Structure 1
Amino acid sequence: MTDEEAIDIELSEPLHARPASMLVRLASRQTAAIEIAFEGRSANAKKILEVLKLGAIRGSTVRLVARGEHAALALERLSDLIHHGFSTDALPEIATAAAPGMAIGRASLLLSTVADAAPESMPGYSISDDIPSSRRRVHAAFGRAQSELHRLIARLPPPEAQLFEPLSVILMELMNATLPNLEAGMSAVLALDVAAASAGTARSDLVRDALERVRAVLLGVDLVTAELLAGEGDRILVARVLTPSLLVGLPRSFRGIIAEGDTGPGYTSHAAILARGRGLPLVFAPAHVVSAIRRDETIVIESTETSCQFWSSPSAEFLQGARARHDAWLAQKRRDEELARAIRSDTAVRANVGSLDERIPPSADGIGLVRTELLFSGRLSPPGEMEQASVYAALAKGVAGNPCIVRLFDAGGDKPIPWLPGEGRGMDLLLAHPHVFEAQLRAIDRAREHGDVQVLVPMARSAEDIERVRAGLASDAPVGALIETREAADAIEAIARVSDFISVGTNDLASSVLGVDRAVLRWEGTEAFLRDERLLVVVRTIVERAHATGRKVTVCGELAGHPEMARELVALGVDALSVACERIASVKVALGARNR
């Protein structure tokens, strides 16, 4: 990787307000430091005032200099923008995929919530000394919300209806937490909001769904549904807050969704699970990006591999190309699914699963990663032993004859769980909640009666982490270590000796090895980072040292889901890959082509 790159380029447009703004916007997304020089003066390409002061005119030549991480990639992106006449075609918005795919349509906006639309003068916000009356209003509001929920569930197919069942419990617990606040003189809506905030559940889209339902009743307003937003032709929903109820009400004319948020509520959300089940591309973007989208402007979403991006108001030429890519993508997807069923490979390709309702394709060689914290998201209390055991058993039965690798609850940092609070990640957090930790191990023991259920220790740090988990099991369940930090990679030999298998989480490992914050990985796109030779060297070392102890290695991070990189991982000696369900076919086809 080069530390400094430079290029001379002729400006297709003057660096006045709009072109300069676009250049700065794109430069600011790059990790490299970027300088633009003109007639002996230079400016930081990430600062709009400095760029404007250069006064560079159309047809003049400027020098772009990039220094640091991914300098060449930064110059390539900026050059492309200039060569295309500062067209929006060359400046896609970077997003995070929750349900990958491609979609083209006109924007239907839903950028306000019930709370936003309700002025403080509306009933429910006013402070009242009439506590009995407030109590009756709260009971009535929750009762109506429950009735509407039951009607919704009755209309949905069983897999989707099951996702809404926890909402009934959430509504009951929220009501019980709201009532005591009324005694303190809070208004009905304030009492509800305080109850939700004190429960620490703001990140759950099921809780947001419940809050929107009850607020609407208390304030006497209607819930806005996507049906009211539909216009002519294919549509893209653009929402500030995306709830499961909103998603299931989408008419058939909606082809994709852009929602405000980051990976916190993204892939983990119930809305994302519903979107994947319906084949609807769903991406999350920063608030300022979502709010800038205009009603009825054409949107193109492309999120098919490790990158995720969308364009607003592209040119007619770009749109024509996008439609061709969309048709080709659909055709390729159908071909891959047919081919994958017939492919036999020495390298297992397993599924990453975060819901009972994920469609695991028949070509999958089992489940390589059960994200257990996602299975029980959107609730106020931890799942019990029997509930967990039944879920793990159901997953194991679904891949009978193949392994079902259950990762212990992985929370903390930027992945908080309301019922697993505290500092740290992985075993640090689990050991701080022994009742949760022990109940999960007992549930795994029970589930082993129904299939090959194995255990994966998240954020493994040392041999002691693995031995502590093994000591807590009553069965002989295989125990593996998930290697996600440079420190764990350095200790791989000691960890591997006490483990039954090794898994590598390349997302966190990339952050640790490259010194790049997870947020940067999220918004810059993972592909460039995952291709970094330093990361591949660490993965190769893990494989070699684990194999030296007789242990097999699986890669279950983003790296494994990219067909080209999957082939490279197999060349490094990786024994198995675990990828998102929708990527299994393309990865198997890529490995099959390599073997031919």
Structure 2
Amino acid sequence: MLIRGIPVSEGIGLGRAVVVKESEYVVRKVKIEDAGAELRRFLDSIEKAKEQIREIKAATHESLGEKNAMIFDAHLLILDDPEFVNMVKWKIEEGVSAEFAIDESARFFEDLLLSLEDEYMRERANDIKDVALRLIRILNGEEQIDLKNLPEGSILIAHDLTPSQTAQINKQNVRGFITEKGGKTSHTAIIARTYGIPAVVGVEDIINKVKNGDFLIVDGYEGFVYVNPEEYLIKEYEEKLVEENRRKEELKSFLYVESKTQDEKRIKLFANVAHIEEIDAALKNGAEGIGLFRTEFLFMDRSQPPSEDEQFEVYKSVLEKMEGRPVIIRTLDAGGDKNISYLNIDKEENPFLGYRAIRFCLGNKELFKIQLRALLRASIYGNLKIMFPMITSSDEVYKAKLIIQEAEKELKKQGIDYSQNIEIGIMIETPSAAVISDILAKEVDFFSIGTNDLIQYTLAIDRTNDKVSYLYNPLHPAVLRLIKMTVENAHKNGIEVGVCGEIASNPEIVSVLIGLGVDELSVNPSKILSVKKKILQMKCEEEKRRAEDLLSWQ
């Protein structure tokens, strides 16, 4: 069976399907005759749940550290909680199934906790829900899908993959992503390209067309998904995979070649990363620095924000690993498509236009200051640059810099060292920022153009909506004119401009960006060498003329 979707991450993946379905259950009230037998089912499910949770906790501790593993202690405590266990027992003795008794008891305690004002206690409602779901799955004989321990050669299939889900996945064992939702700049697409994993999105009803264990071919070039293909097709794609690997080996010859055009225009090549483990891949592919470190991933897959010390350790490790190379760390970019439940950002009709990124940080000063203190403390271990996202006015820059100054004063008073020469930059990802880039350039040390959002806002296209994704055009004259304006205003004020959006990883668009005058490209680690190859083949003056033609294209 051939299914078509939107190709968002190049490559070919062959493997077995792992279907991740959304955790929604309707547990019906079922009368039982033998309460004793039902009680034994319930108690057995508790023991099996404890065993599963201990295994997951151990794996999490090994891969993500003790603090991330601590959430599972709360799950174990719930399974031993006499109030929860006794309520389930009482309901079973009243003559209902264990599944229904668990569901009813869990809902009671969820509602109770959600009625409290204490934020930490409200978050425990999610833990109860997770535990109840695990018990019901065990009782129904359903296999648990552990994203941290996927079998090697997995093709992951889901309606959509959230940032918190992808944060758990062992990417080494994944051969491809397929989702029903998404476009070329969806979160799944970005993560897939970061790790060099083939991905096809916008595949209608895929979770019902494929079952666990089906053999799949994912063609991330054409957007094809083959389900249980014939032998000749498997052989054909195995040969394509060999050729793909040959091209990757060829790219390694460019590893130690300086990144510059044939007419000697020097272009810096940095990497976009979200996790410390991605830095090795960036260095392996010759990254000259980190052009975008996405800190929001530190805040995901947990029940409360990371502490100042925890953030400090992460930022310190990143800087030390980069050994003096520039590291641009973006402050928390929550909201939009990056929902972090415990931050209590209200559900909005238009989240991309709402309370997100720098707006959220300025509205939550203490949380923001904790991150800035951690960054300042880490700055002495490398070449740190701090970048603010989603800027729309100089007032936002002014307020953010004031909070940095407050954090510096606090550290100085405590006798804690920090670098005195940290460059401050902003992301140009709104049309308003591009239009006033002449003003903003006087307030900061560098610009980084976030083209994912800039294109979305300029063309009025929701980049996560697969129904309008075909309108998402990086080469639209309006987008190119905003980029040109930003570059010219930056250079007039003596600051450099990078591009850290997804188009910087596209070898076919790289030439246009260089023609528009950008100084630096920050790309997914897996794309660094292919982008460098493209740069080495071009002449800057020719690309300038091409870019000028595109600026007036209709």
Same fold (TM over 0.5): yes
- For 1:515-530, list aligned pairs within 5 A: 515-520=460-465, 529-530=473-474
Given the alignment of the two structures, is residue 347 of structure 1 paired with residue 291 of structure 2, yes or no? no
Amino acid across the alignment from 1:461: T
Partners of 1:567 and 1:122 in 2: CA distance:
69
Closer/same/farther in 2, CA of residues 283 and 104 from structure 1, 3 Å limit: same
Aligned to 2:384: 453
- The answer for the alignment partner of 1:78 in structure 2 is none
Q: Which amino acid aligns with 2:294?
A: R
Cα-to-partner distance string for 1:79-114 (whole Å, 9 max, x where unaligned): xxxxxxxxx87x7212655xx532135x54646678
Q: Deviations over 1:433-478 (max 9, x none)?
A: 2221010110110010101111111001111222222222225421
CA distance in 1 between counterparts of 2:110 and 2:187 reads 20
Residue 534 of structure 1, aligned match among 478, 487, 491: 478
2:333 corresponding residue in structure 1: 410
- C-alpha distance in 2, partners of 1:482/1:590? 25
Structure 2: distance between partners of 1:285 and 1:184: 46
Change beyond 3 A, Cα 1:595–1:222:
same
Paired letter, 1:511: Q
- Contact kept? 1:420, 1:429, Cα under 8 Å: no
Distance in 1 of aligned mates of 2:250 and 2:321: 24
Deviation at residue 590 of structure 1 after TM alignment: 1.2
- 1:152-204, CA deviations, whole angstroms, 9 ceiling, x for partnerless residues? 458xxxxxx3237555322234567896994996744455577599689xxxx
Q: CA contact under 8 A between 2:461 and 2:471: conserved in structure 1?
A: no
Identity among equivalent pairs (%): 24
TM-score normalised per structure 1: 0.67
CA contact (8 A) 1:122 1:219 kept: no
Matching residue of 1:484: 429
Residue 266 (1) aligns with residue 211 (2): no
Deviation at 1:496, TM superposition (A): 1.2
Equivalent pairs counted in the alignment come to 474
Retained in 2: the 8 A contact 1:95–1:523?
no
Structure 1 residue aligned with 2:4: 92
Q: Deviation per CA, 1:380-411, whole angstroms, max 9, x where unpaired?
A: 11111111111011111111221111101101
Deviation of the 1:352 alpha carbon: 0.6
SS at match of 1:498: coil
Aligned mates of 2:239, 2:31 — CA distance in 1: 50
Residue 487 to residue 295, structure 1, CA distance change in 2 (3 Å)? same
CA contact under 8 A between 2:156 and 2:176: conserved in structure 1? yes
What SS is found at the alignment partner of 2:305? coil
- From the two aligned structures, give the one with the greater helix fraction: 2
The residue correspondences of 1:147-546 to structure 2 (distance < 5 A) are 147-152=54-59, 161-163=62-64, 165=66, 167-173=68-74, 182=84, 187-189=101-103, 195=110, 214-215=134-135, 219=139, 221=141, 223-224=143-144, 236=155, 238=157, 255-259=175-179, 262=182, 266=188, 276=195, 281=198, 283-285=200-202, 288-293=205-210, 299-303=216-220, 310-311=225-226, 322-345=237-260, 346-358=266-278, 359-362=281-284, 363-422=286-345, 423-473=354-404, 474=408, 475-520=420-465, 529-546=473-490
Distance 1:120 1:166 in 2: 39
Look up the match of 2:94: none
Instruction: Judge conservation of contact 1:427–1:465 (CA < 8 Å) in 2.
Output: yes
Q: Answer with 216-225 or 444-453: which moved more.
A: 216-225
Instruction: Find the aligned partners of 1:180 and 1:539 in 2 and give their Cα distance.
Output: 61
**Which deviates more from structure 2 when the two are superposed, residues 415-424 or residues 107-116?**
107-116
Distance (Å, rounded) in 2 between the aligned partners of 1:374 and 1:245: 7
Q: Is 2:462–2:468's contact at 8 Å kept on the other side of the alignment?
A: no
Query: Corresponding residue for 1:44?
Result: none
Q: Is the 8 A contact 2:179 2:206 kept in 1?
A: no
Residues 140, 261 of structure 1: CA spacing in aligned structure 2 closer, same or farther, 3 A cutoff? farther
The CA distance in 2 between the partners of 1:361 and 1:249, in whole Å, is 18
Unmatched tracts of structure 1, length 5 or more: 1-87, 155-160, 201-205
Query: Does the CA-based 8 Å contact 1:216-1:223 persist in structure 2?
Result: no
Assess if the C-alpha contact under 8 Å between 2:463 and 2:469 holds in 1.
no
Code of the residue aligned with 2:377 in structure 1: it is R
User: How far apart are 1:267 and its partner, in Å?
Assistant: 6.1
1:486 touches 1:509 (CA, 8 Å); kept in 2? yes
**What are the superposed Cα offsets for residues 293-325 of structure 1, whole Å, 9 maximum, x if unpaired?**
478876432336xx8654557799977765554
Q: Deviations over 1:48-69 (max 9, x none)?
A: xxxxxxxxxxxxxxxxxxxxxx
Q: Give the CA deviation at 1:290.
A: 3.1
- Contact 2:160-2:188 within 8 A present in 1 as well: no
After TM superposition, give the deviation of residue 223 of structure 1 in Å: 2.9
- Identify the residue that residue 80 of structure 1 maps to in structure 2: none
Aligned mates of 1:550, 1:114 — CA distance in 2: 53
Residue 337 of structure 1: how far off its partner (Å): 2.7
Which residue of the other structure, out of 553, 556, 571, is the alignment partner of 2:500? 556
**Alignment-mate amino acid for residue 246 of structure 2:** A
Write the distance in 1 (CA, Å) between the matches of 2:400 and 2:45: 45
How far off its partner does 1:284 sit?
4.9
Corresponding residue SS for 2:342 = coil
Task: Please say if residues 258 and 290 of structure 1, whose CA atoms lie closer than 8 Å, have aligned partners that are also in contact.
Answer: no
Higher relative contact order (CA 8 A, sep 6+): 2
Deviation at 1:553, TM superposition (A): 0.4
**Relative to 1, partners in 2 of residues 1:466 and 1:182: Cα closer, same or farther, differing over 3 Å?**
same
Give the whole-Å Cα distance in 2 for the aligned partners of 1:387 and 1:234. 33
**Distance across 2 between alignment mates of 1:310 and 1:261:** 15
Structure 1 position 138, deviation (Å) = 9.6
Kindly provide the CA deviation profile for residues 197-256 of structure 1, in whole angstroms up to 9, marking residues without a partner as x.
Answer: 9689xxxxx9899659843686374634699xx99x987454569868996599x8x743
Please tell me whether the aligned partners of residues 134 and 188 of structure 1 are also in contact (alpha carbons under 8 angstroms): no
